[in-house]
Amino acid sequence: MINPRNPLWRYPSLGVLMVAFFAFLYVPIIVLIVLSFNQNQTATIWTTFSFDWYKNVLENPNILRAAQNSLIVALVATVVSTVFATMAAVGMAGKAFKAQNAFNGLVGLPLLVPEIVTAVASLLFFLAIGLELGLTTVIIAHVVFCIPFAYLPIRARLEGLDPKLLEAASDLYARPWQAFARVTLPLLLPGIVSGAMLAFITSMDDFVITFFVAGAGATTLPVYIFGMIRTGISPEVNAISTLLFAASLVIVMLSFFISQKK
Amino acid sequence: MTALANAIVIDNIGMVFGAGLGAVRALDGVSLEIGSNEFFTLLGPSGCGKTTLLRLIAGFEQPSTGSISLYGQRLEGLMPFERPVNTVFQSYALFPHMSVAQNIAFGLEMQRKPRLEVQKIVADMLELVQLTGFEARKPAQLSGGQQQRVALARALANRPKVLLLDESLSALDAKLRKEMQLELKRLQLETGITFVFVTHDQEEALTMSDRIAVMKNGKLEQIGTPTEIYDFPRSRYVADFIGETNFLTGIAEANGLRLPDSQWLEVTHSRPPGSSVDVAVRPERAQIARDTNGLNAVVREVVYVGTDTVVYLEIAKEVFRVRMQNHGGAAKMVSVGDQIKLVIPPNAVRILEAES
Amino acid sequence: MKRSSLVGRYALISPAAILIFVFMLLPMLLMALMSWLEAGQFGGVKWGSYTPEAYLKFLFDRDLSDHLVFNTDYLSIFSRSFQLAGITTFLTLLTAFPVAFYIALQTPKHRTWLMLLITIPFWTNLLVRTYAWILLLRNGGLIDSSLHSLGVLNTPINAMYTPIAVQIGLVYAFLPFMVLPIYTSLEKLDWRLLEAAYDLYANRWQTMRRIVIPLAAPGMVAGCILVFVPALGTFFIPELLGGAKTLMIGNLIQQQFGVSRNWPFGAALSFALLAVVLMFMLIYALRFRGKGSLTQ
């Protein structure tokens, strides 16, 4: 372990850079949040504090429907992708076998292929097989790209698991399924939870793929926000963006504290 | 073997990992019998196959050839959870998400023992390993020694027919290890369970075992009580691995050996005259003297080690150590460069088997 | 391994594998096929009539008499995309390395908190983060109005809808993608190596150049790919910040499924983008085989 106060490790002006870095990262977000509570119509000059825009947002039926769509898609995609990812991670653990490399490549695909390529390919595929664009197509696409996000933390957790623990369970008269239920699953749980949270955020945040495969009836929140921004700046966008930021923040913090707890 | 019932009979076990050119032969025709209530130690350097043998008994691996029986019952095809043996793992493998009590109860719950009985056994076990009051702690909140004792309690709670211990003390520091050695011996006597202990630490093996099997490259080198192993090592390998030893090589003549520098070492042996013979002499069995009959040697180094003084001699171009106890000021007797006499009593010389 | 357990493992893996195969790999193959088909008049494709037209369109246009004429319109969009993505990668690398290094030097507790601060924007909606820059950059926005009130500027700043706005948006969007992998490789660094370097008369800069940077190289390359690939394919950042004059490949692709209705051309563009990405992956995989993977 190194002591950061040791002058040996003190590189000049790194501290200044750090302040600038975090300012760059957070000033836009903070401006956005502050302006969402601004009463002024013009959206960038501060007048007085108000919740008006949040009220507008929460009374706008289109936004509410988009939010509802987002939640439905995210919940379904999270549950399905997390279950499949957990199964896959358990199946991948242990002694090496042939199909492992193929699966590793497959599961990496959604992360490595540019979103717009995935979006175009999915759109063409859905149209070619005659599946009508709507919530179904959105959910299918989301499940697919959520799988790696759910998979990776679970797999990492499983890799950190001492294989001796399973031997110990077996030595203490646990049958394989008992060893899974009593030892593997509880120890895997933090990985599963953080995997599910990452899947949820990823699904909630996705814009590009949803934009292509949603069709008219299945507008999600990001797609709706994109439309609002394109038609012009409005304080409502500030408010709804802040809400979306807050949602991400809550989930990231939850995930963080769960992972800290081990 | 004695009249004791055999707990474990290992018959001609062979174990090969991998296949083709990369195949590794971890065990090669090992046969041994472990008596009931015995504290039996498998001793050897890493890679000698001792842990593999233990894992075969536990059922974590299946042997390539040969068979293992437990009190007459063949163990082939039985999964670890079907064998009445339990293991104390090298790194303990305590379940990190369970409390001490839950860890100890695990095996009993898996065997569907009634709740009250489980609670009673857990309490008994905690008392046995002197951890009463720690039942609610998580393994991470325990010291290494305490974790070790939980691992022991967890295995012993099942009253196994045989307890397997895999390098179970190696993670502890020297002082704690000494304490746990005595503790293990006490537990073994109190419970009357057969212990099969794996270690690379010869001192640990000598301290605790009823019998020791020294292993080398997947084969048994020698089996015997600690005294037999220490005092009558069969081969250079065993003599070298257990304790400190001096080796001398000479040509056999009647009633003795002719050393390379033509000096005469008296010893009774049955080797044909003219053959090359290796012998071993423990450092504490030899003496240094002046003005007597003995082998001519030169003092090269004198090392003070507290209770003893170790004198390094040169004889027949070889280094020979003599260990002398320090009471009586023996250390002051010699200094570097002295020409002295090395006295080796004939009954201190061990004739070693020719190396294969 | 027992046969039954192997079957069980295949069964566990197959749902995820089949889903990704059917809804990711097959669509990409279909896309590759469609890029060689003739475009339908109002979108769609004419099945069965194969033509390299979509790929010719990268460099050529057809004039009224159907002759191929060299056309640099798309070429300039490609080069702009590569340029913007390249500069983004360079700038993020330049910033992220010292940041990751600084964080790796902190006590474990501080490290976790600093990494949390970087993770939060990482997981915040990119659309929202891009939108925030509109509030800063536009005329009458925060930067414009502050410069005016300070008297530095009299005319409107006109920062929006410029390549610079797009560049800022790209750097802002992908900065966390660069910090995370570099930090991961620095976190594992054995600091005794630096002590050893100092002991052997290397100064701070030499230690950095000869020890730290080579050991962090896999993380840096991973970061570069994680930034370059999405930056190259991005479409809403130039859409929102850049306007019509700073189109990137992503916008061009999107247009083929919107106003332009030329599916084969869109598919060909996507496939070309995919090919570029796969090429980078391949180089990375060959160069850093076994030294950690991008997906970690």
Q: Which residue has the higher pLDDT, A199 or A95?
A: A199
Q: Do chain C and A touch: 3 or more Cβ pairs under 8 angstroms?
A: yes
CATH of the domain at A95: 1.10.3720.10
Listed range (A31-45, B11-25, B198-212, C61-75) with the worst mean pLDDT: A31-45
Q: Please check whether residue A2 lies inside any domain of the structure.
A: no
Please answer yes or no on whether A225 and C127 come within 8 Å at the CB atom: yes
| Mean per-residue pLDDT, C140-166 | 85
CA distance A37 to chain C (A): 14
Q: Is C264 exposed, middle or buried (0-12, 13-18, 19+ CB in 10 A)?
A: buried
Please answer yes or no on whether B95 and A183 come within 8 Å at the CB atom: yes
Which residue of A lies nearest to B160 if distances are taken between CA atoms? A172
Question: Tell me, what's the pLDDT at C97?
Answer: 94
Q: Please check whether residue C57 lies inside any domain of the structure.
A: no
For chain B, list the contacting chains (3+ Cβ pairs, <8 Å): A
The amino acid at residue B317 is K
Is the confidence at residue A110, as pLDDT, over 70? yes
**CA–CA distance, A198 with A185 (Å, rounded to integer):** 19
Phi-psi region of B243 (alpha: psi -120 to 50; beta: other; left: phi over 0): left
Nearest-CB residue to C27 (from A32, A125, A260): A125
Q: Please check whether residue C37 lies inside any domain of the structure.
A: no
For residue B322, give the nearest of B330, B312, B332 by alpha carbon: B312
**Enclosing domain of residue C248:** 177-296
**CA–CA distance, A117 with C266 (Å, rounded to integer):** 10
Which residue of A lies nearest to B157 if distances are taken between CA atoms? A172
**CA–CA distance, C226 with C249 (Å, rounded to integer):** 17
Is the confidence at residue A60, as pLDDT, over 70? yes
Interface test with A, best of B52, B87, B118, B196 (most A CBs within 10 A): B87
Q: Which residue has the tokens 């999600």?
A: A220
Q: Which chain A residues are Cβ-neighbours of C294 within 8 angstroms?
A: 108, 111-112
Last residue of a domain, one of C160, C187, C208: C160
Q: Please check whether residue C252 lies inside any domain of the structure.
A: yes
Structure-token pair, residue B144: 């290494």
Is the confidence at residue A137, as pLDDT, over 90? yes
Is residue C234 located within the same domain as residue C260?
A: yes
Q: Please check whether residue C41 lies inside any domain of the structure.
A: no
Please answer yes or no on whether B97 and A187 come within 8 Å at the CB atom: yes
C296: confidence class by pLDDT, cuts 50, 70, 90: very low
Q: Which chain A residues are Cβ-neighbours of B155 within 8 angstroms?
A: 171-172
Q: Is C14 exposed, middle or buried (0-12, 13-18, 19+ CB in 10 A)?
A: middle
Is residue C152 located within the same domain as residue C184?
A: no
For residue B115, give the nearest of B125, B101, B104, B105 by alpha carbon: B105
Is residue C248 located within the same domain as residue C273?
A: yes
Q: Please check whether residue A18 lies inside any domain of the structure.
A: no
For residue C129, give the nearest of C88, C85, C170, C97 by alpha carbon: C170
For chain A, list the contacting chains (3+ Cβ pairs, <8 Å): B, C
Nearest-CB residue to A171 (from B86, B94, B97): B86
Edge-to-edge, what's the strand order for the sheet holding B211-216? Answer: B85-88, B162-166, B194-199, B39-43, B211-216, B219-224
Q: Which chain B residues are Cβ-neighbours of A172 within 8 angstroms?
A: 81, 86, 106-107, 110, 154-155, 158
Per residue in C248-277, pLDDT (tens digit) is: 999 999 999 888 889 999 999 999 999 988
Question: Tell me, what's the pLDDT at B74?
Answer: 92
Torsion of CA A146, A148, A152, A158, to 10 degrees: 100
**CA–CA distance, C87 with C95 (Å, rounded to integer):** 12
Please answer yes or no on whether A229 and C134 come within 8 Å at the CB atom: yes
Q: Please check whether residue C201 lies inside any domain of the structure.
A: yes
What's the predicted TM-score (pTM) here? 0.81
Q: Please check whether residue C97 lies inside any domain of the structure.
A: no
Which residue of A lies nearest to C146 if distances are taken between CA atoms? A45
Number of structural domains found in chain A: 1
Is residue C154 located within the same domain as residue C261?
A: no
Q: Which residue has the tokens 């030329």?
A: C262
Which residue of A lies nearest to B97 if distances are taken between CA atoms? A187
| Mean per-residue pLDDT, A122-142 | 93
Q: Which chain B residues are Cβ-neighbours of A174 within 8 angstroms?
A: 81, 106, 110
Q: Please check whether residue A7 lies inside any domain of the structure.
A: no
**Enclosing domain of residue A141:** 54-259
Q: Please check whether residue A114 lies inside any domain of the structure.
A: yes
Nearest-CB residue to C105 (from A2, A45, A230): A2
Question: Tell me, what's the pLDDT at C289?
Answer: 62
CB–CB contacts below 8 A, A to B: 62
The amino acid at residue A155 is R
Q: Please check whether residue A132 lies inside any domain of the structure.
A: yes
CA distance A29 to chain C (A): 6
Q: How many CB atoms lie within 10 A of CB C199?
A: 9
Which residue of A lies nearest to C15 if distances are taken between CA atoms? A84
Tens of each residue's pLDDT in chain B, 356 residues: 444 578 999 999 999 988 777 788 899 999 999 999 999 999 999 889 999 999 999 998 889 999 999 998 999 888 899 999 999 998 899 999 899 999 999 999 999 999 999 999 999 999 988 899 999 999 999 998 899 999 999 999 999 999 999 988 887 888 888 888 888 898 899 888 999 999 999 999 999 999 999 999 999 999 999 999 999 999 999 999 998 999 999 999 988 899 998 899 988 888 899 899 999 999 999 988 888 888 999 999 999 888 889 999 999 888 999 998 887 665 567 889 999 999 999 899 999 987 65
Is residue C188 located within the same domain as residue C129?
A: no
| Mean per-residue pLDDT, C143-167 | 86
Edge-to-edge, what's the strand order for the sheet holding B276-281? Answer: B264-266, B256-258, B246-253, B276-281, B350-351
Nearest-CB residue to A248 (from C16, C123, C138): C123
Question: Tell me, what's the pLDDT at C248?
Answer: 92
Q: Which chain A residues are Cβ-neighbours of C23 within 8 angstroms?
A: 122, 125, 140-141, 143-144
Is residue C296 located within the same domain as residue C181?
A: yes
Is residue C243 located within the same domain as residue C285?
A: yes
Interface test with A, best of C7, C18, C20 (most A CBs within 10 A): C20
Is residue C183 located within the same domain as residue C295?
A: yes
Q: Which chain B residues are Cβ-neighbours of A182 within 8 angstroms?
A: 106
Is the confidence at residue A55, as pLDDT, over 50? yes
Please answer yes or no on whether C13 and A201 come within 8 Å at the CB atom: no
Nearest-CB residue to C28 (from A44, A121, A252): A121
Per residue in C182-205, pLDDT (tens digit) is: 999 898 888 778 778 877 888 888
Please answer yes or no on whether A175 and B107 come within 8 Å at the CB atom: no
Return the ∠ at Cα C291 (arms to C289 and C296), rounded to 5°.
Answer: 110
**CA–CA distance, C175 with B242 (Å, rounded to integer):** 61
Q: Please check whether residue C130 lies inside any domain of the structure.
A: yes
Return the ∠ at Cα C209 (arms to C206 and C210), rounded to 5°.
Answer: 80
Nearest-CB residue to A125 (from C10, C30, C134): C30
Is residue C237 located within the same domain as residue C263?
A: yes
Interface test with C, best of A38, A117, A242 (most C CBs within 10 A): A117
Q: Hey, is the C-beta of A177 within 8 angstroms of any chain B C-beta?
A: no
CATH of the domain at C260: 1.10.3720.10
Q: Please check whether residue A185 lies inside any domain of the structure.
A: yes
Is residue C251 located within the same domain as residue C149?
A: no
Please answer yes or no on whether A170 and B158 come within 8 Å at the CB atom: no
Q: Do chain B and C touch: 3 or more Cβ pairs under 8 angstroms?
A: no
Q: Which chain A residues are Cβ-neighbours of C293 within 8 angstroms?
A: 108
Number of structural domains found in chain C: 2
Q: Hey, is the C-beta of A171 within 8 angstroms of any chain B C-beta?
A: yes
Per residue in A138-168, pLDDT (tens digit) is: 999 999 999 999 999 899 888 888 889 999 9
Please answer yes or no on whether A44 and C141 come within 8 Å at the CB atom: yes
Which residue of A lies nearest to B159 if distances are taken between CA atoms? A172
Q: Which chain C residues are Cβ-neighbours of A14 within 8 angstroms?
A: 98, 101-102
Please answer yes or no on whether A167 and B80 come within 8 Å at the CB atom: yes
How many CA within 13 A on the CB side of residue B10? Answer: 26
Interface test with C, best of A111, A116, A244 (most C CBs within 10 A): A116
Per residue in C90-138, pLDDT (tens digit) is: 999 999 999 999 998 888 888 889 999 998 988 888 899 999 999 899 8
Question: Tell me, what's the pLDDT at B356?
Answer: 55
Question: Tell me, what's the pLDDT at C139?
Answer: 83
C-alpha distances in Å from residue B76, one per residue of B58, B59, B79, B242 = 11, 9, 9, 34
For residue C81, give the nearest of C214, C228, C204, C224 by alpha carbon: C228
Q: Please check whether residue A25 lies inside any domain of the structure.
A: no
Last residue of a domain, one of C106, C131, C160: C160
Is residue C139 located within the same domain as residue C185?
A: no
Residues B150-171 as b/e (b if ≥16 CB within 10 A, e otherwise) read bbbbbbbbbebbbbbbbbbbee
The overall average pLDDT reported for chain C is 87
Q: Which residue has the tokens 């003005």?
A: B291
Please answer yes or no on whether A170 and B95 come within 8 Å at the CB atom: no
Nearest-CB residue to C23 (from A117, A122, A201): A122
Q: Which residue has the tokens 């992956």?
A: C281
Nearest-CB residue to A44 (from C16, C129, C142): C142
Q: Which chain A residues are Cβ-neighbours of C191 within 8 angstroms?
A: 2, 9
Q: Please check whether residue A239 lies inside any domain of the structure.
A: yes
Question: Is the Cα dihedral B45, B47, B51, B56 positive or negative?
Answer: negative
Interface test with C, best of A47, A100, A124, A207 (most C CBs within 10 A): A124
Is the confidence at residue A94, as pLDDT, over 80? no
Q: Please check whether residue C18 lies inside any domain of the structure.
A: no
Q: Which chain A residues are Cβ-neighbours of B165 within 8 angstroms?
A: none
Is residue C218 located within the same domain as residue C284?
A: yes
